[in-house]
Structure 1
Amino acid sequence: MNEIKAAGGQAAANTDDISSFAGAKNIVDQAIDTFGGLDVVVNNAGILRDRMLFSMSEEEWDSVIKVHLKGTFGTSRFAAEYWRNRSKDGKTNDARIINTSSVAGLYANPGQANYGAAKAGIATFTQIAAQELSRYGVTANAIAPGALTRLTEDLNLPDEMLAKFDPRWVAPIVTWLASPLSKDVTGHVIESNGMFLAIAESWQRGPTLNTPPAEAEDVDAAIRPLLAATRARTTMADIN
């Protein structure tokens, strides 16, 4: 916050619990009260509680889902209500929701069932929000960054890898999404890191049989050619 102010910008801190509905509302209300309106919401709060599926506790699952998925929903929900009310009052919006998904949510990473499920949920949530809010002058997109932050500072990676996953490769994408230049872009998940920039295309319909089997004993023969014709999945190994 001090860096923003030192650079001539305006900033205000908030310490509410992003995983609570009340906290999410307070954040949105504070932004509107402090700056006189709301144009861009960037949902970036996150925690890690990595564990293999058979070792993960209920608390480790719930806490990650609450911060990532519920937190993203909460601020987006109250921001959307604000923009919808402005639209109903005859005012024009040019607003943005920018969510943070992850390659772990797109391509699956063992040991991160909670985190991956939350981030996959955010990707689909973003597409739904884009469809629901377009009529109100609001776009919704997500980034799936390859970036090392305080969450990952204990990984002890080599300097070459640290450079590739520096957050500076992500910041320009968020800045562009928040700008007027992206007003025609909505419902996308954008991967970014120091190695590449890509648009995620997960969950496209693949090989299809237009005469589906009516009996269980016919499924294996019907589905095997479809499975054989699917394209190779992107995996976490492809990111590096």
Structure 2
Amino acid sequence: MLLVFQAMDAAGKDGTIKHVMSRVNPQGCEVTSFKQPSAEELSHDFLWRYAKAVPARGRIGIFNRSYYEEVLVVRVHQQLLSLQKLPPRYVSKKIWDERLADIAQFEDYLTRQGVIVLKFFLNLSRKEQKKRFMKRLDDPDRNWKFSPSDVRERRYWDDYQHAFEEAIRATTTKRAPWYVVPADNKWFTRLVVAVAIVDVVEGLDLAYPKVDPTMKQELVAARAELESET
């Protein structure tokens, strides 16, 4: 299963992931946070670093931000495209539609390989974002959570909203649905995300592995050995 989380800054992605997944065995769950791409990553296609992090069968992978950054941040700040070393003829007005189509096809491919893809957009209002930024600034213990770049990115609010709308519209499918979750109230955000995940997991009809006759004999022998200890 692959869980994708996207949001504006201060929407509560980290807290939601931590809260919702707190009862999941960490041996079967892995969170990947995608930061600014490295030189090696920029030398590959835009999906390369994300494809490497897709969870193995039987595991839950969580993308804290994801390949959607390539049609969100890069779309808003199009100068970043120059770092991706694309042949000039492929950098056209169609590039965002083409990337969205690539993403939709990538997710379709994953689902046909048995990977369940759930995508969550934590929809924070501009007013609530300002409130949370101010709280981080006012509380010395929360200063570390604030970056001056947060305010700079806020200037592009409308551009980001447009990019999110385009991305969600183009990549919403029955196999890989988007959940647009109101994020102004953290408790409600976490409840909606938890219910969506539980609903899907319950539909998988999971069960513990069955113990075969050979293993049962070994268990009997193990019990006898333990009982014989003094």
TM-score scaled by length of structure 1: 0.36
Q: Which has the higher contact order (CA 8 A, sep 6+)?
A: 2
Greater Cα radius of gyration, structure 1 or 2: 2
Richer in helix (by share): 2
